[in-house]
Structure 1
Amino acid sequence: MTEAVLQALRSACPIAPRLSPYADPTQVWLLGQLTRLGLPLDAAALDRLDRAGFARYAGRLFPDATEPDLRVLTALFTWFFLVDDACDRPDRLTPPQIRALRDGVLGLLREGPRARHPSFSGPLRRLLVQAWREPRRRMPARWRARFTDAVADHLDGAWREAVAKATGRAPGVAEYVALRRATSAAYVSYPLIEFATGRPLPDAVYHHPALRRIAHLGNDLLSWFNDLASLEQDRASAGGHNLVLAVATEQRVPVETAVELVAERWRAGMARFVALRTAVPSFGPTLDEAVTAHLDGVAHAVRGTVDWTLESARYPVAPGS
């Protein structure tokens, strides 16, 4: 049932799909890079990473990035997925371990590769050092601060979710939607639009209410689609941290009914997303091109998540997974 719902939502999505021509070569590069960095990956783990297709995800979100930049973006995406796995697996990181990881990561992003923290070392640190090198060199200080703040928010979200799971407390719908915006890492990907396009926005424009509304809704759309795709996994291990499960509990309906309610919520959100994009005001001839590139990037994040979720072996709905 869920797969049919996901396919129907993809068919109804008005955002055109895009994919970088460098996605598949970058996936080959990624596997070799992870091996060189010394990540503890056996043949089976490497095969899972290959079939997950993180480079294709980055290539869908940043279809116009150069090949070197797509490698950077893919490395960053891979780092976040590996951290996500560390927080979700059966022997997952504890809340204190996530907090310590956060401190080490933020120190590196703010101070550079010489910053050291006892809880952040080894191959995972080396991957982030490598992936962060080019954005740190090329992007202005205000952008680096914005990206780092987004990473802090994401890791704080992972910590809050871990605390809730440890205490066995399932969130209500409103609480879950707010938390999911942090754990999805969409807010981390949005500044990367500026890196990929070479068009950094002033803070006043980036945080303009019209752009923030679109950013929040785009985050919701990709997160809710992902929740539908990962429902069966989350029923077993997420402690109620899935929008479908939160809706089923709060509204006291069967999970099957909650799937339809979440799908309808997604459709209504998509219609509003289109309307909000149309209503964005002009910021003047010197900024409108960069604003358009940013809004296109948020749209690519939504559509890219839809298409990648249905092709990636990371999710049970993907063919051949």
Structure 2
Amino acid sequence: MTDAVLRSLRSACPIPPRLSPHADPVQEWLVDRLVGIGLPLDAAARERLARAGFARYAGRLYPNAAEGDLRTLATLFTWFFLVDDACDGRGGLTPPQIRALRDGALALLREGPRARHPGFSGPLRRLLVQGWREPRRRMPARWRLRFTDAVAHHLDGTWREAVATAAGRAPGVDEYVELRRATSAAYVSYPLIEFATGRPLPDAVFHHPTLRRVGDLGNDLLSWFNDVASLERDTVSGGGHNLVLALAAERGVPVEVAVELVAERWRTTMERFVALCAAVPSFGPALDEAVTAHLDGVANAVRGTVDWTLESGRYPVTAP
């Protein structure tokens, strides 16, 4: 059932698909690089990483990035996915361990590769050092702070989800929607648009209420699509942290009905997203190209998540 719903949502998505011509070469490079930093990858693990296609995901979100920059973006994407896997479900890192990982990662982002923290070491640390090297070198201080704040928000959300899961407390719908905006890491991907395009935005523009609302709706769209795709896994290990499960519990309806409710919510939100993007005001000739690149990047995050979810071996989806 969920496969049919996912395909119908993809058909209803008005955002055109994009893919970097460098995506597949970078994907091959990425698997070898992960072995080089000491991740314990046997043949089966290498195959899972290759089938997951994290570089193709980055290539869908940043289709115009230079090949070297796409390597950086794919490295960062892989770091977030590996952290997600490490923290996921009841068998993952404990809330104190997640908090230590957060503190160590933020110290590295703020202070540089010499910053050390006892809760953050090994391959995950080395991977973040590599992924952060070029953005730290090239991007202005205000951008680095903005990116680091987004990472902090994401890891705080991951910690809050782990606390709730450990306590056996499933969230209501409104609580879940806000928490999901943190755990999705979409807000982390938005500053990376500026790295990929070389067009950093002033803080006043990046945080403009209309652009922030565009980002919120884009986050919801990609998160809810992912929730439908990962429903089977989240039913087993997610502690109710899935919009389908939250709606089913709150409204007292079967999961099959809740899937359709999420799909309808997604379609309505897509209409609002498209209308709001068209209503973004001009910020003047010096900034409008960068604003357009940002809006295109948020749209690519939505459509890229849709297409990557249906092609990645990370999800049990059978879609043509």
TM range (shorter): over 0.9
Aligned counterpart, 2:23 = 23
Distance in structure 2 (CA, Å) of the matches to 1:274 and 1:12: 12
Distance in structure 1 (CA, Å) of the matches to 2:66 and 2:89: 34
Distance 1:155 1:190, change over 3 A: same
RMSD: 0.9
Distance 1:43 1:181, change over 3 A: same
Asked whether the equivalents of residues 309 and 318 of structure 1 are also in contact (C-alpha less than 8 Å), the reply is: no
Distance in structure 2 (CA, Å) of the matches to 1:262 and 1:311: 21
Distance in structure 1 (CA, Å) of the matches to 2:319 and 2:248: 27
Aligned counterpart, 2:117 = 117
How far did residue 42 of structure 1 move? 1.1
How far did residue 318 of structure 1 move? 4.3
How far did residue 74 of structure 1 move? 0.1
Distance in structure 2 (CA, Å) of the matches to 1:131 and 1:29: 14
What is the one-letter code of the residue matched to 1:45?
A
Q: Which runs of 5+ in 2 are unaligned?
A: none
Distance in structure 1 (CA, Å) of the matches to 2:245 and 2:143: 36
Asked whether the equivalents of residues 62 and 297 of structure 2 are also in contact (C-alpha less than 8 Å), the reply is: yes
Aligned counterpart, 2:107 = 107
Distance in structure 2 (CA, Å) of the matches to 1:45 and 1:300: 29
Partner of 2:161: helix, strand, or coil?
helix
Q: Residues 143-222 of structure 1 correspond to what in structure 2 (within 5 A)?
A: 143-222=143-222
Q: Which runs of 4+ in 1 moved over 3 A?
A: none
Distance 1:40 1:89, change over 3 A: farther
Asked whether the equivalents of residues 89 and 238 of structure 2 are also in contact (C-alpha less than 8 Å), the reply is: no
**TM-score, normalised by the number of residues in structure 2:** 0.99
Aligned counterpart, 2:60 = 60
Aligned counterpart, 1:260 = 260
Partner of 2:261: helix, strand, or coil?
helix
Q: Residues 31-50 of structure 1 correspond to what in structure 2 (within 5 A)?
A: 31-50=31-50
Distance in structure 2 (CA, Å) of the matches to 1:275 and 1:319: 29
Aligned counterpart, 1:233 = 233
What is the one-letter code of the residue matched to 1:223?
S
Asked whether the equivalents of residues 15 and 299 of structure 1 are also in contact (C-alpha less than 8 Å), the reply is: yes
How far did residue 96 of structure 1 move? 0.3
1:96 partnered with 2:74: no
What is the one-letter code of the residue matched to 1:296?
D
How far did residue 40 of structure 1 move? 1.1
Distance in structure 2 (CA, Å) of the matches to 1:55 and 1:101: 24
Distance in structure 1 (CA, Å) of the matches to 2:252 and 2:192: 40
Distance in structure 2 (CA, Å) of the matches to 1:74 and 1:87: 20
Asked whether the equivalents of residues 104 and 119 of structure 1 are also in contact (C-alpha less than 8 Å), the reply is: yes
Give CA-to-partner distance per residue, 1:118-176, whole Å, 9 cap, x none: 11111110110011000000000000000000000000000000000000000000000
Aligned counterpart, 1:312 = 312
Asked whether the equivalents of residues 312 and 318 of structure 1 are also in contact (C-alpha less than 8 Å), the reply is: no
How far did residue 62 of structure 1 move? 0.2
Q: Percent identity?
A: 80
Indicate the larger mover: 81-90 or 213-222. Answer: 81-90
Aligned counterpart, 1:141 = 141
Give CA-to-partner distance per residue, 1:56-109, whole Å, 9 cap, x none: 000000000000000000000000000000001553000000000000000000
Distance in structure 1 (CA, Å) of the matches to 2:4 and 2:318: 12
Q: Which runs of 5+ in 1 are unaligned?
A: none
How far did residue 319 of structure 1 move? 5.5
Distance in structure 2 (CA, Å) of the matches to 1:156 and 1:59: 27
What is the one-letter code of the residue matched to 2:58?
A
Aligned counterpart, 2:86 = 86
What is the one-letter code of the residue matched to 1:10?
R
State the number of aligned residues. Answer: 320
